[in-house]
Amino acid sequence: MSITIQTADEQHRKEWDDVVESSSHGTLFHTWKWLNIVQRHTNSEFLPLVAYKGTQLIAIYPVFIQKKGIFKLAFSPPSQSYLLYLGPVIREYDTMKQDKKESLLVDLQEAVNTYLFSERDCKYIRIRSSPGIYDSRFFTWTGFSVEPQYTYRINLSGGIDAVWASFDRKLRVDINKAIREKVEVRQGDYEDLLAVSELLSQRFREQGFKTNEYRDYLTDLYNEFHPENFKIFIAYHNGQRAGGMISLCFKQIMYLWIGVPKSKIPGLSPNDLVQWEAIQWASENGYTFYEEMDGGDRRLRGFKAKYNPELVIWYTAVRYRSSYYRWIEKMSRLM
């Protein structure tokens, strides 16, 4: 039976979120509410694609179309959304037999490609699939170039003492020092969110990137997801904010989503204590993993790896509608 692609609307909302819940690679970013907020803040057209086999909904595939000049480009996730990955979610993927997974992924991707290239006239598709789909052949076999990416996960199921013992020795010294120096970590509120947003923009400016305005985007997410799925941890030293992060909680995983730049206080690492407090909170509240998002950034490898996380793989897949567009892109990279 072939797969048909439709776009979902408000009526499909519950069914959509049920699929997200049903598989381990469904994340908070895939939820209907989150995606609709993304649409409002990314200057893109949201295509909530749903795949049916007969009358059964078998997968969801959120795609955002953005225009560059006269070209329509399809992304999942879209740029400027501060999302590392998104991609498809297959209903009850984890319990399927290997051969069923394989056929479904290939058929689904072919159907989505046809829809985006033929019906939507897109010239380019970029998918960043979420961890949990470890098979990337469905991309390769349907014409994509695929690159493996990584994220870091700390397994909390062995208990918090085992997590602490596995940290780098210098990290434990730094955390203890921050405690001795009376750095205090508290869960933050809307005021703290605005401070994080400002620090984020400042960091992009310092790194030479064009600054995006994340304040309204973060505010909408805060209003929708705080406090259950969206948490802010802030470090205070001498009454001043000295570090912090925004973390997300969904199913069995707590995510370090946005961290603030490292402290300028000499000899003190408030962010290490922030992260340790968040890990303890996740462990006490029954989460199985703590994810330090993005293990592929060499600049941040040292900071993240000292917590001794495991590497978890995910993929970036790119396809051009024709070799002409691919050639232009390749040549422009070489210039």
Partner 1 sequence: MELKIIGEGEKEIWDNAVHSSPHGTIFHTWKWLKIVERHSFKQTFTGNYPSKLYPLAVFQDSKIIGLLPVFCYTLPFLKMVTSPAIAVENYYLGPVMGDVQDLKPETQQIMLMDFQSEIDNFIKNTLHPKFILVHTSPHFTDIRPYKWSGYEVEPRYTYEIDLTRGKDAIWENFGKNLKYYIRRTEKEGVTVEEGSRDDGKFIYDLLKQRERIHPREDFLLEIFDNFSPGDLHVFIARQNNKNLTGIIILTYKNSVIFWLGAPKLSIRGIIPNELVIWKSIAWAIENGYERYEIMVADDLSLFPFKRKFNGTLLPFYTLRWRSPFFRLVDAVYHGIRPRYR
Question: Which range touches partner 1 (CB under 8 A), out of 52-60, 156-164, 276-284, 312-320?
Answer: 312-320
CA–CA dist 257, 18 (Å, integer): 23
Provide, rounded to whole angstroms, the least separation between the CB of residue 188 and partner 1.
Answer: 29
Provide, rounded to whole angstroms, the least separation between the CB of residue 281 and partner 1.
Answer: 23
CA angle 148, 74, 93 (to 5 degrees): 55
- Considering only residues 61-100, where is the footprint of partner 1 by CB under 8 A? 97-99
150 counts as binding partner 1 under rule CB under 8 A = yes
126 counts as binding partner 1 under rule CB under 8 A = no
145 counts as binding partner 1 under rule CB under 8 A = yes
Crossing angle between the packed helical segments 190-206 and 215-225, to the nearest 10 degrees: 150
Question: Which range touches partner 1 (CB under 8 A), out of 63-71, 83-91, 202-210, 326-334?
Answer: 326-334
Chain mean position to CA 270: 24
Number of residues near partner 1 (by CB under 8 A): 40
135 counts as binding partner 1 under rule CB under 8 A = yes
CA–CA dist 154, 152 (Å, integer): 7
- DSSP H stretches of helix in the chain: 13-22, 32-41, 98-114, 137-140, 160-166, 169-180, 190-206, 215-225, 270-284, 298-305, 323-334
Provide, rounded to whole angstroms, the least separation between the CB of residue 151 and partner 1.
Answer: 12
- Considering only residues 154-173, where is the footprint of partner 1 by CB under 8 A? 166, 168
Residue span 27-66 as binding mask against partner 1, x where in contact by CB under 8 A, dash where not: ----------------------------------------
Strands 45-53 and 184-187: what pairing? unpaired
At which residue do the structure tokens 């994509």 appear? 144
Question: Which range touches partner 1 (CB under 8 A), out of 19-27, 28-36, 119-127, 316-324?
Answer: 316-324
Residues 144, 230, 281, 290: which binds partner 1 (CB under 8 A)?
Answer: 144
118 counts as binding partner 1 under rule CB under 8 A = no
The radius of gyration computed from the CA coordinates of the chain, to the nearest angstrom, equals: 21
Q: What single string gives the DSSP state of each residue in 61-98?
A: EEEEEEEETTEEEEEESPTTS--S-B--EETTGGGS-H
Residues 11, 55, 240, 323: which binds partner 1 (CB under 8 A)?
Answer: 323
DSSP-based three-state secondary structure for 214: coil
Q: Shortest CA distance to 145 belongs to which of 284, 300, 325, 295?
A: 325
Provide, rounded to whole angstroms, the least separation between the CB of residue 103 and partner 1.
Answer: 9
Provide, rounded to whole angstroms, the least separation between the CB of residue 62 and partner 1.
Answer: 23
Question: Which range touches partner 1 (CB under 8 A), out of 78-86, 219-227, 240-248, 306-314?
Answer: 306-314
Measured from the CB atom, the residue of 152 and 281 that comes closer to partner 1 is: 152
